[in-house]
């Protein structure tokens, strides 16, 4: 699963059977800092709600084909989540945690 940002949409007059009603959106892949990373690609919107400039979760490959209502349709990428917020804070404050290492010894 990777971050992406919706930067546009794609209109298709003809679609493969099973993809009727599915939106195709153009997604800019993002790196861990949510900066552009690579060329944009087209993803099927499995949420049905993603829109312009939204931060989304995208899955690729076989998993993408399973994310839509009709399984195993020919898609390479699917949007499976819309990100509301990202908390970038570390899980703990290393300066305030007193770390102890416990080494277990086996008594004979």
Q: pTM for the whole thing?
A: 0.79
Please identify, in words, the CATH class of the domain defined by 2-96.
mainly beta
- Is residue 57 predicted with pLDDT exceeding 70? yes
pLDDT tens across 26-38, in order? Answer: 999 999 889 999 9
Contact by Cβ (8 Å): 28, 7? yes
Average pLDDT over residues 78-93: 84
Paired residues of 27 in beta bridges:
6, 41
Token pair for residue 49?
Answer: 């709600």
* Domain residue ranges of the chain, discontinuous segments joined by +: 2-96
């Amino acid at each position: 699963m990777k971050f992406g940002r919706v930067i546009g949409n794609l209109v298709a007059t003809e679609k493969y059977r099973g993809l009727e009603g599915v939106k195709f959106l153009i997604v800019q892949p993002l790196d861990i800092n949510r900066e552009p990373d690579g060329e944009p690609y087209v993803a099927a919107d499995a949420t049905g709600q993603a829109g312009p400039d939204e931060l989304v979760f995208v899955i690729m490959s076989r998993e993408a084909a399973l994310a839509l209502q009709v399984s195993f349709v020919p898609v390479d990428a699917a949007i499976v989540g819309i990100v509301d917020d990202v908390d970038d804070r570390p899980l703990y404050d290393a300066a305030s945690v007193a770390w102890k290492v416990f080494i277990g010894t086996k008594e004979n």
